[in-house]
Structure 1
């Protein structure tokens, strides 16, 4: 912060110079005025002396006029080059008062509206914290300095959870949701913190948060893990196994938490069997859809397109959202071409081919490279998403 205050002090000196230089100049002008007044007084004294000598008969009229002229020339010589007096409407006290008030007022305004705390936080975060407590203090100051930073609040909430402060974490996640929107991950974190803040008691609030999170994203991992914990704590071991199996399917093979999660599933299975129950088999996974389609261009259109024009080949649901379920992008130069559209080409996880029974194949040429609008198009008849037979699609119509 020392370099900052040095720069601020230099700028302050520059600002004060604009106030104090006119005052110093006015003092110089005052000295010029005082010297001129002294010269005028000396001139008047000389003229009076000449008049006395004339009255006494020492000087005649000619000598009197010559002496007065000489005194006048001396006065002009003394005052020659003096600056014209400057008239200040402000006077001297006001600039001096402003010179005192400007730095005081500037410092006060900066301390109130300035960002010295943010500058200091930036310097602190450039260095690694020595402890979890130090990191928490930094995050708390960062949130206080930037109350509209959802990212800072989120990380502070996670830090509170790591320190076993779920009540504080729940408040922080709630503020994060209010700022960043009701994103599934944030809702899951809020629900988890609220559950532990309530002493591991399931509540309507926690249920609402997890339902909303999983409705937006059925694979939201925090909500799945929390529902599994709540089910295990309440003796609903089969539900716990189901939730944890769903969570296990989302974790990458190298994730270190897989071992702990698998241990929880094993304990839930043992308790279910010990209570006389039987572990239900997980439902068979739905087969992935895969459509094979060959796309070509009508002969009468080959002279109307350019090799670099984009070709979008996609499948969309007959009854469902208008967004494409699977998309491939090619160029006119690639035609004719055969592509496969499957669940792996889904634009969003919840919009897979296998989730919709009937689809339509579409191929669109867009010179501007926009998948939603183009010049030429080809469409298929509705077909089942489980179709395995190769399909043929011809681009032959204006895109209206």
Structure 2
């Protein structure tokens, strides 16, 4: 608070300076008026001296008139600047002086009435590094008590409760944040997670509804995907847990510290799946798709033999990057291509990790796999499909999305 009051004091001094300038000017005007009065007195005495000398015969009438003119010119020169200053100081110095004295009291009173000193004090407290999580919790509780409409306060309080394993209180905090800011996917995921742990890891219709709503708004909402993986793992549905956690890993940044823990969970789920003898484990039963790719007859005159052709599979519900990819040229068409887990661009993104995929073939003259001139797409199909698929490149890039 010292910094705040110091800043306020400096601003007040600046305001006082503007008010005191007229006071100083008024003093200067008074000094000029006093000097003018003295000059007039001296002028009058000079005129009397000239009159006496004229009567005594010392000065002629012409000399008397010349003396009078000289005295008048001197008086005019001495009073010219003073007259200008007097015009600027008509209001005097009393009103600015009174305003300067009243300003500190008036400003303090107005700030107490309409200011936000409590918010300044609260921000100062929150800016200090807490010594423990309990101290942080106490600060956040005081924040939402003083400002119950702070969605950020309720959100961080919920996160802090979760760190203290107080899931029931966290669920109420997240519910309050949702009521204030709206049904944001991240808040819904956090709320569902708190309810899950508060209810001894029992899945409920409310939790399912929150998760469905969150993923509908954001298919890569990380808390929801992580919770689905946890619930599936706890229920022994290891293949399902792997699917959710693989989607979660794909949505996280490369440097995210939680990636390693999630990948460890995927490895444990695969071990459990293998030990239980389930054949759907992605590592034990890699998927393989066979697709015959050809070019539409209408496009054969519009492409060149050396143009690149990228054939890949991508998840229908999941990350946009390809799960498996092969590269050909137009001269190779028609061609039969096999796509499998061994063609994966990333180890954690494989065909076997996703239930449904779409096949895509793209002609790219500049060799860019993400953009080209012509494309062909299949309907969604199961990644475990063993029947050969047919794919025709027949659509201009950007159409038929």
Alignment TM-score, normalising by the size of structure 1: 0.58
Q: Displacement of 1:72 after TM fit?
A: 2.0
Superposed CA offset, 1:347-382 (max 9, x none): xx9x988534x85534254979795x7532234688
Aligned to 2:159: 158
Aligned to 1:175: 176
Does 1:71 find its partner at 2:53? no
**Residues 375-386 of structure 1: pairs in structure 2 closer than 5 A:** 375-379=373-377, 385-386=383-384
Aligned to 1:105: 107
Q: Displacement of 1:31 after TM fit?
A: 1.8
Go from structure 1 to structure 2 and tell me whether the alpha carbon gap of 1:71 and 1:381 turns closer, same or farther (over 3 Å shift): closer
**Residues 133-148 of structure 1: pairs in structure 2 closer than 5 A:** 133-140=134-141
Aligned to 2:207: 209
RMSD: 5.8
Equivalent pair of 2:314/2:322 in contact (CA under 8 Å) = yes
Equivalent of 2:193, from 189, 194, 197?
189
Superposed CA offset, 1:109-144 (max 9, x none): 89428973465246403xxx3333312133345657
Superposed CA offset, 1:17-68 (max 9, x none): 3333343233213321331233224324543665588789997644543442
Distance in 2 between the 1:94 and 1:333 partners?
90
Q: Displacement of 1:157 after TM fit?
A: 1.4
Q: Displacement of 1:173 after TM fit?
A: 0.8
Q: Displacement of 1:223 after TM fit?
A: 7.2
Equivalent pair of 1:214/1:223 in contact (CA under 8 Å) = no
Go from structure 1 to structure 2 and tell me whether the alpha carbon gap of 1:398 and 1:69 turns closer, same or farther (over 3 Å shift): closer
Go from structure 1 to structure 2 and tell me whether the alpha carbon gap of 1:192 and 1:37 turns closer, same or farther (over 3 Å shift): farther
Equivalent pair of 1:154/1:172 in contact (CA under 8 Å) = yes
SS in 2 for 1:291: strand
| Structure 2: 5+ residue stretches without partners | 246-260
Distance in 2 between the 1:141 and 1:70 partners?
84
Distance in 2 between the 1:353 and 1:88 partners?
88
SS in 2 for 1:363: strand
SS in 1 for 2:375: strand
Go from structure 1 to structure 2 and tell me whether the alpha carbon gap of 1:300 and 1:214 turns closer, same or farther (over 3 Å shift): same
SS in 2 for 1:130: coil
Go from structure 1 to structure 2 and tell me whether the alpha carbon gap of 1:382 and 1:207 turns closer, same or farther (over 3 Å shift): closer
Distance in 1 between the 2:96 and 2:306 partners?
76
Superposed CA offset, 1:322-342 (max 9, x none): 996955689999997967366
Distance in 2 between the 1:381 and 1:246 partners?
23
SS in 2 for 1:84: helix
Aligned to 1:120: 124
Q: Displacement of 1:207 after TM fit?
A: 3.6
Distance in 2 between the 1:161 and 1:382 partners?
39
Moved more, 25-34 or 134-143: 134-143
Distance in 2 between the 1:142 and 1:36 partners?
67
Equivalent pair of 1:305/1:332 in contact (CA under 8 Å) = no
| Structure 1: 5+ residue stretches without partners | 229-239, 263-280
Superposed CA offset, 1:138-170 (max 9, x none): 334565788787555333113335557666433
**Residues 244-283 of structure 1: pairs in structure 2 closer than 5 A:** 252=262
Aligned to 1:270: none
Does 1:363 find its partner at 2:365? no
Alignment TM-score, normalising by the size of structure 2: 0.58
Q: Displacement of 1:213 after TM fit?
A: 1.7
SS in 1 for 2:84: coil
Q: How many residues align?
A: 348
Aligned to 1:32: 32
Aligned to 1:277: none
Go from structure 1 to structure 2 and tell me whether the alpha carbon gap of 1:208 and 1:294 turns closer, same or farther (over 3 Å shift): same
Go from structure 1 to structure 2 and tell me whether the alpha carbon gap of 1:72 and 1:130 turns closer, same or farther (over 3 Å shift): same
Distance in 1 between the 2:305 and 2:9 partners?
70
Equivalent pair of 1:362/1:379 in contact (CA under 8 Å) = yes
Go from structure 1 to structure 2 and tell me whether the alpha carbon gap of 1:141 and 1:155 turns closer, same or farther (over 3 Å shift): same
**Residues 233-382 of structure 1: pairs in structure 2 closer than 5 A:** 241-242=235-236, 252=262, 285=280, 289-291=287-289, 300-303=301-304, 313-315=311-313, 326=322, 340=339, 355-356=355-356, 359-363=358-362, 365=364, 375-379=373-377
Distance in 2 between the 1:136 and 1:210 partners?
29
Go from structure 1 to structure 2 and tell me whether the alpha carbon gap of 1:378 and 1:227 turns closer, same or farther (over 3 Å shift): closer
SS in 2 for 1:137: helix
